[in-house]
Amino acid sequence: MSQTPAPRKLPGNLNTNRRLDRWLKINRDGTVTAFPGKVEIGQGILTALAQIVAEELDVALERIRLAPADTTYSPDEGMTSGSQSITDGGAALRYAAAEARDLLLQRAAARLGVSLEQLSVADGVVKARSGGSVTYWEIATDDLLAREATGDIAPKPASLHTIIGSPAPRRDIPAKVSGAPIYVHDLDLPGMLHGRVARPPSYDARLAGLDEAEVRALPGVVAVVRDGSFLGVIAGREEQAIRALTRLKRIARWEESTVLPETPDPRFLLREVTEDQVISEKQDAAAGARAAKTLDAEYTRPYIAHASIGPSCAVARFDPDRCTVWTHSQGIFPLRRDLAGVLGVEENCITAIHMDGAGCYGHNGADDAALDAVLLARAVPGRPVRVQWTREDEFNWEPYGPAMVVKLKAGLDTQGNVVNWTEDIWSNSHSTRPNGLGGVNLLAAWHLARPHPPSPPRNPPLPGGGSHRNAIPIYEFPNERVTNRLVKRMPVRVSALRALGATANVFAIESFMDELAAAAGADPVEFRLRHLKDARARAVIETVAAKAGWRKGEKGDGARGRGIGFARYKNGACYVAVIVEIEAGNELSVRRAWAAIDAGLVINPDGIINQTEGGIIQTVSWALKEAVRYDRSRILTSNWDDYPILTFEESPQVEVTIVNRPELPPLGAGEGTQGPTAAAIANAIHNALGVRLRDMPFTRDRVLAALA
């Protein structure tokens, strides 16, 4: 029996989207179109991808056009998540562009009648040493890239880079400061109607009664859409839809049965049934026997909201043979699979087109809003319907970053070395994104008369991990046992929030490292270095300590103090060390932060700095202020008064240093700061005030309680 050989593995997402013309098109007008399947979510990815293409093709950055992600023509790159866009999407474009350049040079060599070695390229102009020249734009034809990639053409070495590694202004910022209609929220199609969904008052509430007639009679109302407990309204003008929504909410009668955890304290997780997995085990009995002092501690993180500034939005239109949806989803292909499941149609009957949204920081309401728009548009064929979630919709219904509990126990020998380490983590899964794995992970689908149950939650596996992301310490401990206790029951809707489990795990590990350092009478910086072999890890810690002017054994003064936190994100992406300075006055505030980051080869230095600054400031907000509130049946977080975030008056100064490693592969860099920052703040509070806060957020009340 003959067997077809497995196709060879190609770099990044070129492996799953193997044709070169899926990624690139050389245009006759002197431009190049790149087709990334990864999307802009405010992280600046499109600018970095354009830099990669320009570099490998040897053309000016200004020549690169980026096609918006669209299921009609874009490569399926899954989700834009997990800091993988440069490593997976960037690698694909990098190799595709290198190969396209090679094909262009071959064609140029034939045209000029010279050998490849005699050619040089500058901005798309190919010159032969003997004198002749030809441009990419003259020789490129559609068939040039109509082939499978080989992956054989190596990208340029870092020594030849002129565009990669230089700061490039973000291509999206001019439109963003001008007020141009670039977000899906701004899409305004001819004949467009406005929709709103009257969400139930609690997760499992059933619509028991409604007199639709009085809502239908309101000015501008075009339709009331009711399917089981899914209830929406469509109107001609936006404010008419809002008025109709208000009326619907007032007159709809619901039967509520939701039971939420009895306490906002994440320790309710300790009483849940868990699926346990030992994810790291190291044994050295002789070393363990040297333990002279043992410490244990328990850390928690509450449910945290993504809290996007722009509530989710989508526009959809039903035509006779096609449904089109404009969305700020992070994954138009997975979304389309789930939408097809709800509509009972083939995937290729649906077109999903990405447009920018407000920053999402993970899985928020974007995909849910897309299904809302589709369900409402189905009631008015041919008319586009725009659904804008309310602030309350977003806060009540988005899937939060899960609450977590981390228990730690460690032994120190008389020299102050950690000789054993036991860690247990409790958490739900960190991904309930649309995934096409049998169910439908879209909110409205669960409320229909014939509901589609959700797909089973997927806790992303190690080494990246979900709840157990960064649970395995990067430090060298001779004895170690780390157990992931996955809580299957999900009373509160949860999914991916920037950094997933890394925030709580690093917060716990790095706080505990400071507790151990204190017990060992060691300086926190020196204590970490003592347990670290990885040279890159050591370098970011040493760099941030130098930049911040860290003094060995420095002590706070009862009001101000500093602390450090460190991690290598996912134990495989960027290395980040953070030092913060806090001040405890009437309120607790973070005044300054310093960070050092090693993300391997840096594509756009200013992009990395912007993401690192932003990550730190966002985490200051999480760590000082944020927790979703609920009672036994309802979510109580509905607006910014219920869920304050860091303001301009409270935001710290941040200074970021890049440890550039141009000779090493690029590493994901968008989510490396969360864990280190949360821990650095807790450590700084201890340094300043002598109290140890182990429960996020570190509110004034908690500080006062700890001091009492």
Q: Which residues bind another protein (CB under 8 A)?
A: 41-44, 169-170, 172-174, 176-181, 183, 185-186, 188, 219, 237-239, 242, 307-311, 356-359, 361, 388, 390-391, 606, 610-611, 613-618, 621, 639-641, 645-649, 651-654
Cis peptide before 697 (omega within 30 of 0): yes
Rounded Cα gap, residues 183 and 617, in angstroms: 24
* CA separation, residue 616 to residues 303, 372, 549, 680, 695 (Å): 19, 34, 19, 10, 19
Closer residue to another protein, CB minimum distance, 43 or 435: 43
Please check whether residue 469 is in contact with residue 502, taking contact to mean a CB–CB distance below 8 angstroms.
yes
* CA separation, residue 26 to residues 109, 124, 138, 244 (Å): 17, 10, 10, 50
Closer residue to another protein, CB minimum distance, 311 or 666: 311
Q: Which residues of 224-234 are buried (b: 16+ CB within 10 A; e: fewer)?
A: bbbbebbbbbb
Rounded to the nearest whole angstrom, what is the least distance from the CB of residue 617 to another protein in the complex? 3
Rounded to the nearest whole angstrom, what is the least distance from the CB of residue 646 to another protein in the complex? 8
Please check whether residue 317 is in contact with residue 193, taking contact to mean a CB–CB distance below 8 angstroms.
no
Residue 33 sits at φ, ψ, to 5 deg, of -105, 125
Rounded to the nearest whole angstrom, what is the least distance from the CB of residue 250 to another protein in the complex? 17
Q: Residue 48 corresponds to which tokens in the numbers above?
A: 């970095």
Alpha helices in 194-292 (DSSP H): 212-216, 238-251, 285-288
Closer residue to another protein, CB minimum distance, 31 or 610: 610
Closer residue to another protein, CB minimum distance, 283 or 639: 639
Rounded Cα gap, residues 472 and 36, in angstroms: 33
Residue 142 sits at φ, ψ, to 5 deg, of -60, -30
Rounded to the nearest whole angstrom, what is the least distance from the CB of residue 655 to another protein in the complex? 9
Rounded to the nearest whole angstrom, what is the least distance from the CB of residue 152 to another protein in the complex? 37
Which residue has 């997780």 as its token pair?
269
Rounded to the nearest whole angstrom, what is the least distance from the CB of residue 238 to another protein in the complex? 5
Alpha helices in 274-379 (DSSP H): 285-288, 332-343, 366-377
Of 58, 64, 137, the residue nearest 102 (C-alpha)? 58
Closer residue to another protein, CB minimum distance, 140 or 314: 314
* Upper half-sphere CA count for residue 532 (Cβ side, 13 Å): 22
Give me Rg for the CA atoms of the chain: 27
**β-sheet bridge partners, residue 296:** 409
Rounded to the nearest whole angstrom, what is the least distance from the CB of residue 447 to another protein in the complex? 23
Closer residue to another protein, CB minimum distance, 226 or 498: 498
Rounded Cα gap, residues 465 and 469, in angstroms: 4
Closer residue to another protein, CB minimum distance, 243 or 634: 243
Rounded to the nearest whole angstrom, what is the least distance from the CB of residue 1 to another protein in the complex? 54
Rounded to the nearest whole angstrom, what is the least distance from the CB of residue 610 to another protein in the complex? 6
Rounded to the nearest whole angstrom, what is the least distance from the CB of residue 171 to another protein in the complex? 11
Rounded Cα gap, residues 707 and 692, in angstroms: 9
Rounded Cα gap, residues 644 and 622, in angstroms: 10
Closer residue to another protein, CB minimum distance, 2 or 647: 647
Closer residue to another protein, CB minimum distance, 165 or 614: 614
Closer residue to another protein, CB minimum distance, 305 or 537: 305
Rounded to the nearest whole angstrom, what is the least distance from the CB of residue 555 to another protein in the complex? 28
Rounded Cα gap, residues 613 and 594, in angstroms: 9
Closer residue to another protein, CB minimum distance, 43 or 459: 43
Of 431, 485, 389, 18, the residue nearest 194 (C-alpha)? 389
Helix axes 674-689 and 605-625, enclosed angle (nearest 10): 50
Closer residue to another protein, CB minimum distance, 41 or 134: 41
Cα 133–chain centre separation: 45
SS3 assignment, position 141: coil
Which amino acid is residue 318, in one-letter code?
Answer: F
Closer residue to another protein, CB minimum distance, 388 or 429: 388
Other CB atoms within a 10 A radius of the CB of residue 557 amount to: 9
Element (H, E) at 209: strand 206-209
Rounded to the nearest whole angstrom, what is the least distance from the CB of residue 443 to another protein in the complex? 20
Residue 687 sits at φ, ψ, to 5 deg, of -65, -35
Rounded to the nearest whole angstrom, what is the least distance from the CB of residue 359 to another protein in the complex? 3
